[in-house]
């Protein structure tokens, strides 16, 4: 397994496309509920990715993220 692949099957890449960076910035300012709403009805891999983003936000926090 190469060092730039995660166990999930995603490949890590450098992102420098302005459109992608803008999209990521918009997701970053969304609330947990907005991210869940965005992922609702999407394939499970996208729902899992959304939950991972939310969980990473709460690392070190005494308040766990609320799963729906």
In a domain, 41, yes or no: yes
pLDDT score of 15? 87
Which residue segment(s) compose the domain that 28 sits in? 18-57
The whole model's pTM is what? 0.64
The answer to the question of residue 12 being in a domain is no
Question: Is 54 in contact with 32 (CB distance < 8 Å)?
Answer: yes
Contact between 21 and 15 (Cβ < 8 Å): yes
What digits encode the pLDDT tens for the residues 3-52? 554 456 777 778 898 998 999 899 999 999 999 999 999 999 999 999 99
Question: Quick check: is 52 in a domain?
Answer: yes
Residue 29 is assigned to a structural domain of this protein:
yes
How many domains are there within the chain? 1
> Is 25 domain-assigned?
yes
Please report whether residue 30 resides in a domain: yes
Query: H or E stretch including 53?
Result: helix 44-57
pLDDT at 1: 45
């Amino acid at each position: 397994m190469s060092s730039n692949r995660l166990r999930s099957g995603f490949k890590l890449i450098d992102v420098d496309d302005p459109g992608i960076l803008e999209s990521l910035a918009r997701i970053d300012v969304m609330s947990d509920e907005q991210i869940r709403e965005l992922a609702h009805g999407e394939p499970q891999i996208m729902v899992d990715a959304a939950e991972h983003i939310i969980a990473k936000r709460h690392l070190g926090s005494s308040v766990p993220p609320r799963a729906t």
